[in-house]
Structures are given as C-alpha cells and as structure tokens.
Structure 1
C-alpha cells in the first residue's frame, strides 16, 4: 500500500508525486496512456525569441526525477471508480484495486466536441489529436488541412503543425447552433483572440490588434473583414466563414462553407467548398473531472475556469478528507501552472501526513506564491478572465470552510 496515489502522469501529477516523495511519502502514479508526460508530450512552441518550450524534454526531466525518488509509475492503467473505506481511499482500475490514505487527482482536460455533418469521415480529428500525431508519434495528419474553430488552442497547435511542415490552408468557424455557442460568433471569437494579440506573428497584426480592442474599431473591422481572411504565418484566418459540412465519400475531400455576419448568422447564396484531405475540429478544453464527481466532491460552475470544477483551496485540497486536485482539472491553464499546482498539492499532502510539518508550512506558502507568479508571467491564457475565476473559487472555499 502506498501513502499517496496520483491519478494522471502529466505535468501536475508528476510534479505532485515528486513533491510528496521528497518528503518521505511512498507514491504510486497511475495513467492510462502508454508513457508518462500527459499533454506535455505534444507541446512544442517558442515562448519568446530564442527560448523554446519542449514538452517532451520537460516530461523526460520530470519522469527521471520521479524515478530517482523511487516513485512507482504504472502506465496503461485506467481508473474507473473511487471510494472511501474508513480512512483509506480505494482506487478501482482495470489492473486491480489500489489503496492509499491520500489521492491526488491530476486528470487534466478534454476537448469539447463540436459535431459537424461528415465528422465521422476518416481524416477528421480533434486539434489535440493532430498535435499528438505530429509531436508524439511523428505522423503527418495529411497534406492539406482545414481547422474548424478559432481559439488560443487551435493557434498554438497550428504553429506546431506548421513547424512540422504540415500545410493548413485556412481556419474557419463552426456553424452557429446550440453546441458551438460562442465559438461560432465572429464578435466573440475576435474578442477572445485579441487577448493574445501580443503573440501575433507580425508587427502589423500586433498594431492592428491593439486598435481592434476598441469596440468601434472591432465592429468596423468585422464589417469589412477580408473575404479571403488574414494570413497568419501563411494560413488564412477566415472569421466570416462557417463550416456546414465536411464532405467526402470514403475519406475527407473538403469542407462546405457559408459566409456569416458578425453574429454568426448565415448569409444567403454564399456556399463555397474548399478542398482538404484532413480536418481538425477545435472546440476548446474543459476540466476532465469525472473521477472527482464519482468520489463525491462538490462542484461549482465557473466559466472562467473552463466549466464545472471541483471545489478546492489555494493549497489544492478538496472538502473530502485525503482528496487533492491539481492541474487542468481545477481550470484550464498552461503546463507550467499545472506543475506549480502539482508541487503545491504534493506539499499540502505531505503536511497533512505530518511529515516535517514545520518546514513544509514555509515551502507550501512559497509554492502558492509560485502558482500566482507563474500565472502572471504566462504568455498564453486560455481564458482572459482566469484570475477572476480563481478569486471566485477562493471565495467559495472560504465560505465553505466557514460553514
């Protein structure tokens, strides 16, 4: 029996396991993928000129450190149930049942699916699947692609596909319906993208983006937005076109589109078809928190954090004794923030396990500050209002604790 079971071998899980093991705890990590690293395995981007973030190298570093500390890592293991039996948590998996007094849930995030007619054709995939194919398995998604969905995630992965020499012709929006919601409305999409305008690939786009932050300029810009879009590193960003169908007989052959107004409404007699041999659907991310729900953890809906998230403190504990969370299960942010949260969670677990508690108090305070500093320095934020979401959760925790 271990002292701690960590579910998820991504950046948060590995960092949490390391922090626990450094303070004398026996740690076991479970992950359903074939190797540790989680979303880090697909990440490769330039943070600032000359400085690259290589997720594969970062995952190797964390994995090696965990092994040096005798952390037991089991990959290819799926967890399907959690339950509390007296003072122990029982973790039921397809490889048997594991027991531990402490659990760290670091299950990460999943992609929102946006159903589009034809999306079951071979050659259609989520944007995250294209990232894994390219950066993990070194397999080309295709020769000529289209991304449906314009958000921070799709642009980050677009850059990675371009670095691998994969041609993405255009980025368009999904058709407006109950499932696509704000992702299909050019006004909303432009507003969200402007929060990352400092990352635009050219000085011209960065200056134009600053002007577009003013509502009057933004409305004017959408009204006269070029029909062929604006080039982003050679890929056309077409905010006034929406995909109504992915076409093909036995595989992807193209995408049928229509012109839309600034509110996403279809304009008559505007149908066009573009050729493609692969299509990526980018619906955004949401916290993958089903195991926390199965365990009985209370949730709150906080849109700024990506949806329904388990209630948790700044030190990553939940209202359930012995259950901790870290990473994108608590809100959609970067891998660096996930690692900082994992470290805080590991220290919080070590504190509750009464291992060197006087020393840990100071380390835990420093770890919480490190999360905040990492967030403030982040080049990319999936939600521009992430800090408001974190403040809302802090208030919820304080109110719950007072009760």
Structure 2
C-alpha cells in the first residue's frame, strides 16, 4: 500500500508526487491518458522574455524527475469510484482496487461545449482537441479552419495553430441563445480579451487595449468594432460576426456567418459563407470535480474559478480528512500555477503523514504560488484572485461552524 495515491498525472499531480517522494513518502500516480502531462502536453507559446514554453518538454522533465525518485505512474487507467473506510481510501480502477491513507485529486479540467447547428459533422472538434492533435501528435486538424468562441483559451490555441502552418480563417462568436449567453455578447468577450492583449504582436492593438480601461470606452469600442474584425497573428478576430450554421453533408465544408449588433443580435440579410475543412468549438474550461463529489466534498460555485470547485484551503486540504486537491480542479489557471499548487499539496501531505519541519516551507510555497499567479502570462479569468479569496472565506466559515 502506498502512502499517497494521486489521481491525475498532469502538472499538479506530478509535482505533488515529486514533493512527496523527496520527503520519503511512497506515491502512486494514476491517469487515464496514455501519456503523463495532462493539458500541459498541448501548450506551446513564446513568453515576453523570448523563452518558449514547451509543454511536452516540461511534462517530460516532470515525468523523468518523478521516475528517478521511484514514483509509480500508472497510465491508461480510469478511476470509477472512491470510498473511505477505517481511515483508508479505497480507489476502484478498471485494473483493480488499490488502497492509500492519503488521496490527492489532481483531475484537471474539461472543455465546455457550445451547441451549433451542424456540430455533429466530421471535422468539428473542441479547440483543445485541435491543440493536442497539432502540438502533441503533430497532425494537422485540417488546412483551413474557423474557431467558434473567442476567449483566452481559443486565442492562445489559434496562435499555436498558425505556428504549425494551419490557416485560421476566423476567430468568431457563436450565435446568441440561452446556452451561449456571455460567449455571444461582443462586450463581454471584448472585456475578456483585454486581459490577453499583451499577447498581440501588433503594438497598435496593445496600445489601444490600454485605452479601454472603463465601461464607456469599452462600449464605444464594441460599437465601432470593425465588422471584419482586427487581425492578430494574421487571424481575423471577429467580435461582430457569429456562426449560425456549420455547413457540409458528410464532412465540414464551411460555415455560415452573420453580422451581429453590439448586443449580439443577428442582423438579417448579412449572412455569408466561409470555406473551411475543420471547425474548433471553444466554450472555455471547467474544473473536473466528479471524484471529489463522490468522496463527499462540499462545493461552491465560483465563476472566477471556472464553475463549481471543491472547498479547500491554501494548503490544498479539503474538509474531509486526508483528501487533498490541486491544479485545475481548484479553479482554471495555467500550468505554472498548477505545478506550484502540486508542491503545496505534496508538502501538506508529507506534513500530515508525520514529516516534521515543513511549516515554513509550506508558507514559502504558498507565497511562491501567489507570485506565479500574479506573473502569469495567460490569465483565464481577470478576477481569479477574487475567486481564490472567495473560496478561502468559505473555508473559514466552514471551519468556524464545524463541530
């Protein structure tokens, strides 16, 4: 039996396993994917310093360090249930039942779909699937595509597709309905894009974004936003266009788009056709929390963190004894933050397992995580720190009323 079982071999899970191993604990990491690294695998972008963040290399580095520390890593293994009995966790996997005193859930995030007429056609995929095909498997999703959904994730992946020689004909909005809501509102989308404007190669766009620092300027910006959009990385960012249908019979052949008003309403008679051979749908990310729910962990809806997140403190503990969380299950952020959270979780687990003298190290790890969050190149939500504060307040409330 291992001292700790970690579900999820992404950046948080691997860094936690490494930290536990360095403190003398035996760790088993389980993941359903065929490679370790999680969403880190698909990442590839250039930072302001000129350093290229290559997710495959970063994943390999974490994996090799874990292996050298005798961490057990079991891939291609799905977990379908967890229970706690007599202070031990029982983890049910497709290959058998395993036991551990301590359990860390580092299950990451999943993509939210946006329903669009024609989205069942071959050639339609999530934007994350296109990222994995391109950056991990080195397979082009197509020659010319359209991305439906303008957000931080789709903007970053559009840039990566361009780097791989894949033409992105348009980055545009979905048609407004009860499901798409804010994702179809030009004003809401523009506000979210202002937080990644530093990624734009154009100095004009970077400067212009700084001018829109109040609601009045944002409203003017949406009203006068060009119908054909602005280009970033030679990709038209079309906030005043929406896809109303994906076209094709046996496979994607194009999309029908229309001009929309500043409020997201379709302008009648403005429809036009764009030829393409693949479509990416980008509805954003949400925390994968099913296993935490099975374990009985309480949840709270925190929009700034991407949806419902399990209650946890800064040490990555949950209200359930010896159950921990780290990474995107706690809120949608970048891989660098997830790595730092994994370190915190590993230190906390080690301390609770009897390793002494870790209090100051845990405090330093928490502070370093905050600094990493502040300096993040890609921020998935502008108010993520507000979300973090909200969940910590919920934790305090929970602990103050605990018997």
User: What TM-score does the superposition give when structure 1 sets the normalisation length?
Assistant: 0.98
Match of 1:379? Answer: 377
User: Could you tell me how far 1:279 is from its partner in structure 2?
Assistant: 0.5
Instruction: Name the CA distance, whole Å, in 2 between partners of 1:383 and 1:329.
Output: 15
Instruction: Name the CA distance, whole Å, in 1 between partners of 2:111 and 2:36.
Output: 20
Instruction: Name the CA distance, whole Å, in 2 between partners of 1:199 and 1:66.
Output: 33
Instruction: Name the CA distance, whole Å, in 2 between partners of 1:369 and 1:80.
Output: 35
User: Could you tell me how far 1:351 is from its partner in structure 2?
Assistant: 0.6
Task: Give the SS at the match of 1:243.
Answer: strand
User: Could you tell me how far 1:198 is from its partner in structure 2?
Assistant: 2.1
Match of 2:364? Answer: 366
Gaps of 5+ in 2: none
Match of 1:4? Answer: 4
Structure 1 stretches of 4+ moved >4 Å? none
Task: Give the SS at the match of 1:21.
Answer: helix
User: What TM-score does the superposition give when structure 2 sets the normalisation length?
Assistant: 0.98
Task: Give the SS at the match of 1:196.
Answer: helix
Instruction: Name the CA distance, whole Å, in 2 between partners of 1:195 and 1:295.
Output: 36
User: Could you tell me how far 1:402 is from its partner in structure 2?
Assistant: 1.4
**Contact 1:140/1:166 (<8 A) preserved:** yes
Task: Give the SS at the match of 1:312.
Answer: coil
Match of 1:156? Answer: 156
Instruction: Name the CA distance, whole Å, in 2 between partners of 1:398 and 1:225.
Output: 45
User: Could you tell me how far 1:212 is from its partner in structure 2?
Assistant: 2.4
Instruction: Name the CA distance, whole Å, in 2 between partners of 1:274 and 1:205.
Output: 25
- RMSD between aligned residues: 0.9
Match of 1:303? Answer: 303
Instruction: Name the CA distance, whole Å, in 2 between partners of 1:13 and 1:201.
Output: 34
Match of 2:386? Answer: 388
Q: Deviations over 1:167-211 (max 9, x none)?
A: 101111001111111000001000111122222211100111112
User: Could you tell me how far 1:217 is from its partner in structure 2?
Assistant: 2.6
**Contact 2:105/2:324 (<8 A) preserved:** yes
**Which residues of 2 match residues 32-181 of structure 1 at below 5 A?**
32-181=32-181
Instruction: Name the CA distance, whole Å, in 2 between partners of 1:288 and 1:209.
Output: 33
Task: Give the SS at the match of 2:238.
Answer: strand
Gaps of 5+ in 1: none
User: Could you tell me how far 1:49 is from its partner in structure 2?
Assistant: 4.1
**Contact 1:315/1:344 (<8 A) preserved:** yes
Instruction: Name the CA distance, whole Å, in 1 between partners of 2:218 and 2:364.
Output: 41
Instruction: Name the CA distance, whole Å, in 2 between partners of 1:183 and 1:49.
Output: 32
